[in-house]
């Protein structure tokens, strides 16, 4: 049987995977696998920026407090402390590697976003921060001859034996190859594609969470899914994200009768926490019997808007919306998963040799709701920490006997099932949930449970299996949490319950 050996395997090439690879590169051979082209990741699409307490008016203590407040009482405080304290160093390092953040005169320019009490969001080329991060991190990775990168290489399952991870089975050129490593870093991003309306790219199908769960890793906080209030709503267009920074710069939400409404819902109006804004939009949509509201930037000055949001401006123009003159039709969309593979503050999971970082991990930083722009910073800070702890704790055990995944017949109508699953999750497990919607979702998902027992070897089928696995856990977690906390809103339990400060964990019996 063909197999490959490397010292370190990194699954995923977004901010977290690349930062982990940079940490590992001086210490051995590293392989980074990505399931699509190297730049196709949520990281590449990130617009608004990266939160870091570096402006003259800011302090790490204030960033810490804002993060805890957004997390609604469920953040892990030690992890948040690490994020805000190590963040400035990670940004300085990035600048020393060539990152060009926007400036005002000779100083870095910081903007305001929802639920931040200071201007602390660094951005690059206006609204292309993620692209700049990828450019710099990929450049740095390429400077190490010890790092190999495989594109269109899909991790199918982790290789786990006796509670230790030895690498992963990877599908490449239609063949499955076992890739054996002394440590494996899972950095596969989130799972927004589980919902029919999402800002996430096609690669975001929760593969890492599903593989880790099947291998015996603990998942936590899976009921907490963040819905971004403003994605472009046009029948012919994808749900392109309209950055929080547009409201930070003074953008106003109006219902279809052109009335501003956010002040009726929250004293911070457009800058209220994301879950509040998303629910307010849904309420206005219901009241006005419409499937969208508008975001209005027309009063901000066309030169400023074009300069500040060049990518959003040109994308919307492709769909005939001139954001300097027209009201922009918007609706909420699934955006970010706070939960994931449970790790400690060094990225270690409960499986020896398996580390996780970035959106696929649950360090507990985001609690029940993520503070805007904290996730790119999380990828940098905890990608580095996962890399450095992976190299200190290699798995020193005899190679296990390999059990190549045996291929099942393909699933009839799998693309149709994928569409039905995504719509079901949006309608029944979306922004507003209740016992009856969740029970319906659970029943319908169970109709497809046979898919979970199959080993499938095409990308679309594998993704469906992973989406179904994680959708089922999200639904069960949402059913189990009979209260409303952070981004998890139950219309039948609108308040926090008695025992709300718990975390709900999931582990497969193996």
Shortest Cβ 361–ligand FAD spacing (Å) = 8
Nearer residue to ligand FAD within complex by CB, 85 or 483: 85
Nearer residue to ligand FAD within complex by CB, 371 or 479: 371
Known active-site residue 481: no
Nearer residue to ligand FAD within complex by CB, 47 or 196: 47
Q: Which residues, 6+ apart, have CB-to-CB distance to 137 below 8 Å?
A: 15, 18, 19, 22, 94, 97
Shortest Cβ 25–ligand FAD spacing (Å) = 17
Interface residues for ligand FAD in 328-347 (CB under 6 A)? 336
Task: Tell me the three state secondary structure of residue 159.
Answer: strand
Task: Tell me the three state secondary structure of residue 67.
Answer: helix
Nearer residue to ligand FAD within complex by CB, 273 or 438: 273
For the purposes of burial, counting CB atoms within 10 Å of the CB of 171, is it exposed (0-12), middle (13-18) or buried (19 or more)?
buried
For residue 248, state whether it binds ligand FAD (rule: CB under 6 A): no
For residue 376, state whether it binds ligand FAD (rule: CB under 6 A): yes
Which of residues 29, 47, 369, 472 is near ligand FAD by CB under 6 A? 47
Shortest Cβ 107–ligand FAD spacing (Å) = 21
Interface residues for ligand FAD in 142-181 (CB under 6 A)? 154-155
Build a one-symbol-per-residue string for 193-232: x at contacts with ligand FAD by CB under 6 A, - elsewhere. ------xx--xx--x-------------------------
Give CA–CA dist 66/373, Å, rounded: 12
| Largest Cα span, the chain | 68
Give me the helix-helix angle, 414-428 and 459-480, nearest 10°: 20
Nearer residue to ligand FAD within complex by CB, 181 or 441: 181
Interface residues for ligand FAD in 352-371 (CB under 6 A)? 358-360
Give CA–CA dist 37/154, Å, rounded: 11
Interface residues for ligand FAD in 259-318 (CB under 6 A)? none
- Look up residue 163 and give its two tokens: 């509670």
- Look up residue 177 and give its two tokens: 């190859």
Q: How distant, in Å, are the alpha carbons of 100, 110, 422, 482, 500 from that of 479? A: 45, 40, 18, 7, 14
Of 36-44, 282-290, 299-307, 393-401, the window that binds ligand FAD (rule: CB under 6 A) is: 36-44
Which of residues 12, 178, 216, 387 is near ligand FAD by CB under 6 A? 12
Shortest Cβ 419–ligand FAD spacing (Å) = 20
Cα separation of the two ends of the chain: 26
- Look up residue 27 and give its two tokens: 């210490």
Of 8-16, 177-185, 284-292, 448-456, the window that binds ligand FAD (rule: CB under 6 A) is: 8-16
Tokens 């302090």 — which residue?
A: 59
Of 10-18, 281-289, 310-318, 410-418, the window that binds ligand FAD (rule: CB under 6 A) is: 10-18
Shortest Cβ 37–ligand FAD spacing (Å) = 8
Shortest Cβ 89–ligand FAD spacing (Å) = 17
Which of residues 8, 10, 49, 112 is near ligand FAD by CB under 6 A? 49
Which of residues 23, 30, 43, 230 is near ligand FAD by CB under 6 A? 43
For residue 17, state whether it binds ligand FAD (rule: CB under 6 A): yes
DSSP H stretches of helix in 11-53:
15-24, 42-45
* Residues near ligand FAD (CB under 6 A), total: 43
Q: How distant, in Å, are the alpha carbons of 168, 243, 374, 502 from that of 114? A: 39, 11, 12, 26
Give CA–CA dist 115/473, Å, rounded: 29
Give CA–CA dist 471/88, Å, rounded: 35
For residue 33, state whether it binds ligand FAD (rule: CB under 6 A): yes
Shortest Cβ 14–ligand FAD spacing (Å) = 2
Catalytic residue among 81, 149, 247, 274: 274
Shortest Cβ 265–ligand FAD spacing (Å) = 23
Shortest Cβ 287–ligand FAD spacing (Å) = 28
For residue 189, state whether it binds ligand FAD (rule: CB under 6 A): yes
Interface residues for ligand FAD in 404-423 (CB under 6 A)? none
Radius of gyration of the chain (CA): 22
Nearer residue to ligand FAD within complex by CB, 51 or 479: 51
Task: Tell me the three state secondary structure of residue 394.
Answer: coil
Closest C-alpha to 46, from 377, 505, 282, 284: 377
- Look up residue 31 and give its two tokens: 């392989």
**Do residues 358 and 383 make contact, with C-beta atoms less than 8 angstroms apart?**
yes
CB atoms under 10 Å from CB of 11, counted, come to 28
Give CA–CA dist 361/378, Å, rounded: 10
Closest C-alpha to 247, from 115, 376, 124: 115
Shortest Cβ 268–ligand FAD spacing (Å) = 19
Which of residues 91, 197, 225, 241 is near ligand FAD by CB under 6 A? 241
**Do residues 194 and 206 make contact, with C-beta atoms less than 8 angstroms apart?**
yes
Task: Tell me the three state secondary structure of residue 183.
Answer: strand
Which of residues 29, 67, 111, 129 is near ligand FAD by CB under 6 A? 129
Q: C-alpha dihedral over 126, 130, 136, 142, to 10 degrees? A: -150
For residue 469, state whether it binds ligand FAD (rule: CB under 6 A): no
Instruction: Please give the positions annotated as active site.
Output: 274
> Which residue ranges make up the site for ligand FAD (CB under 6 A)?
11-17, 33-36, 40-43, 45-50, 129-130, 154-155, 187-189, 199-200, 203-204, 207, 241, 336, 358-360, 373-376, 379
């Amino acid at each position: 049987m063909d197999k490959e050996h490397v010292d370190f395997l990194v699954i995923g090439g977004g901010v977290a995977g690349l930062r982990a690879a940079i940490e590992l590169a001086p210490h051995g051979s590293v392989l980074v696998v990505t399931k699509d082209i190297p730049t196709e990741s949520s990281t590449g699409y990130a617009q608004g920026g990266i939160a870091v307490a570096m402006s003259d008016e800011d302090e790490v203590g204030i960033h810490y407090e804002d993060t805890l407040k957004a997390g609604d009482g469920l953040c892990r405080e030690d992890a948040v402390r690490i994020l805000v304290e190590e963040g400035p160093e990670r940004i300085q390092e990035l600048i020393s590697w060539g990152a060009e953040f926007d400036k005002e005169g000779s100083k870095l320019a910081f903007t305001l976003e929802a639920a931040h009490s200071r201007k602390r969001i660094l951005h690059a080329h206006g609204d292309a921060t993620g692209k700049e991060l990828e450019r710099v991190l990929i450049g740095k990775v390429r400077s190490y001859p010890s790092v190999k990168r495989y594109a269109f290489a899909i991790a199918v399952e982790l290789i786990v034996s006796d509670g230790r991870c030895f690498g992963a089975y990877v599908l490449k050129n239609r063949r499955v190859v076992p890739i054996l490593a002394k440590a494996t870093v899972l950095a596969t991003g989130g799972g927004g594609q589980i919902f029919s309306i999402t800002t996430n790219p096609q690669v975001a199908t929760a593969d890492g969470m599903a593989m880790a769960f099947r291998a015996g890793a603990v998942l936590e906080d899976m009921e907490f899914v963040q819905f971004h209030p403003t994605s472009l709503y046009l029948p012919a267009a994808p749900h392109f994200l309209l950055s929080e920074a547009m409201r930070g710069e003074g953008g106003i939400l109006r219902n279809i009768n052109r009335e501003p409404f956010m002040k009726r819902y929250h004293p911070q109006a457009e800058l209220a926490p994301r879950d509040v804004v998303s629910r307010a939009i849904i309420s206005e949509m219901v009241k006005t019997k419409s499937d969208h509201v508008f975001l209005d930037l027309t009063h901000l000055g066309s030169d400023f808007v074009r300069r500040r949001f060049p990518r959003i401006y040109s994308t919307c123009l492709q769909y005939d919306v001139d954001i300097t003159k027209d009201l922009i039709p918007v609706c909420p969309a699934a955006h970010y998963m706070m939960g994931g593979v449970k790790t400690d503050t060094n990225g270690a999971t409960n499986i020896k040799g398996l580390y996780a970082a970035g959106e696929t991990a649950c360090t507990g930083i985001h609690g029940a709701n993520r503070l805007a722009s904290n996730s790119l910073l999380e990828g940098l800070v905890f990608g580095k920490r996962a890399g450095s702890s992976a190299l200190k704790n290699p798995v020193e055990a005899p190679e296990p006997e390999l059990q190549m995944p045996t291929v099942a017949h393909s699933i009839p109508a799998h693309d149709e099932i994928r569409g039905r699953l995504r719509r079901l999750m949006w309608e029944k497990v979306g922004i507003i949930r209740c016992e009856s919607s969740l029970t319906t979702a659970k029943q319908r998902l169970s109709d497809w449970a046979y898919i979970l027992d199959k080993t499938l070897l095409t990308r679309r089928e594998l993704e469906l299996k992973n989406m179904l696995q994680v959708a089922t856990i999200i639904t069960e977690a949402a059913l189990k949490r009979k209260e409303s906390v952070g981004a998890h809103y139950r219309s039948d339990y609108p308040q926090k319950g008695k025992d709300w400060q718990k975390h709900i964990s999931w582990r497969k019996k193996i």
